[in-house]
Amino acid sequence: MTQGKDYYKILGVSKDASPEEIKKAFRKLALKYHPDRHKGDKEAEERFKEINEAYAVLSDPEKRRQYDTFGTNEFHQHFSREDIFKDFDFTNLFKDLGIGGVGFSRIFFGGTGHGFGLDDVFSQIFETNREGGYGFTGDPSFKYANPKGQDVVLELPLTIMEMVSGGKKIISLRTGNAPEKIAVTIPKGIQPGKKIRIPGKGAVGPGGRGDLYLLVKHDPNEPYKLEGLDWELEKTIPFSEACLGTKIEVPLYDGSIVKLKVPPGTQCGQRLRIRGKGLPGKFGVKGDGYVKIKVDVPKRLTREQKRVLEELKNVGL
């Protein structure tokens, strides 16, 4: 584990670097220090480990948030190397080649295997080709099996509560002429953009069925917008209440309701925070809720409303 080291410094990026900048820096350094370019060079291999460990954390929004919040030392007290690489998954890339991911586990976790290089995998990530001077260095007796069917990726819309609580969900697939019902286990605390793998439920091939991957997305029918552990909800109030202030009831994703004070002079589009009412993260951290205020401007007015507004106009409002 890279205790006490600065992941941003390892990748050579600033702390406010965008995901694209982090990915670009990772690609460049991983190619530079790849073990197949430095046979037997333990220093280069350690550097390669650091680069991948840094990217595994900084490329994951939740892990990056925890790292930024708690700092490197406390972060490493809670995250093992297995935790860090949990979502840093090269399984699909290895599978497409018809080989297992033993090379990756050997380098990072000290496992054993055929000892092949990782270049074929990294060539797909880094947009290089298999003729770039690396090649397959595995067991020459290794035989490629009949290919399995293609993996299938489907979207899985979930409510915030389903993502927070986890549990079981039944989905229906169309296989041939008959629907196939599958029970899906939703991990507690899963985030949009993550995938749930269901082995053997993909397309059919000579070597069997591929895998099904369910891409988690936030249910668009919910009124909330999500950003990490925070959510945002729009509420519309009358012009008079925006001027004078008011209290409104805000429904939370878990079904409860909180009362929120809208201060006098609140502007249209202003966001009011409800601290600690967002999604739960690790180490007891919770996000926040935000209410975006919209001011209702009526298209039609009664005579009395027009009269009052004319009076307000005359006094400068």
Instruction: Give the CATH number for residue 11.
Output: 1.10.287.110
pLDDT value of position 262: 97
Would residue 169 count as lying in a domain?
yes
Distance of CA 214 to the CA centre of its chain: 14
The secondary structure of 86-119 as a DSSP string is TT---HHHHHHHTS-SHHHHHHHH---S----SH
Distance CA 44, CA 37 (A): 9
* Residue 69 sits in the same domain as residue 91: yes
pLDDT value of position 179: 83
pLDDT tens-digit series, residues 128-149: 333 333 333 334 443 445 677 8
State how many domains the chain has.
3
* Helical (H) or strand (E) element with 270: none
CATH number of the domain at 286, please.
2.60.260.20
Is the entire prediction scored with pTM above 0.75? Answer: no
The two tokens of residue 162 are 């389903």
Would residue 68 count as lying in a domain?
yes
pLDDT value of position 288: 96
- Weakly modelled stretches of the chain, pLDDT under 70: 1-4, 82, 86-146, 175-176
pLDDT value of position 3: 52
Are 2 and 10 in contact by the 8 Å Cβ rule? The answer is yes
Distance CA 124, CA 216 (A): 24
Last residue of a domain, one of 61, 84, 111: 111
Distance CA 94, CA 101 (A): 6
Name the residue range of residue 86's domain. 7-111
Distance CA 291, CA 200 (A): 43
Would residue 130 count as lying in a domain?
no
pLDDT value of position 111: 45
pLDDT value of position 88: 62
Would residue 71 count as lying in a domain?
yes
Would residue 127 count as lying in a domain?
no
pLDDT value of position 120: 38
Would residue 73 count as lying in a domain?
yes
Would residue 138 count as lying in a domain?
no
* Residue 203 sits in the same domain as residue 287: no
Would residue 123 count as lying in a domain?
no
pLDDT value of position 204: 83
Nearest in space to 103 (alpha carbons), one of 134, 81, 136: 136
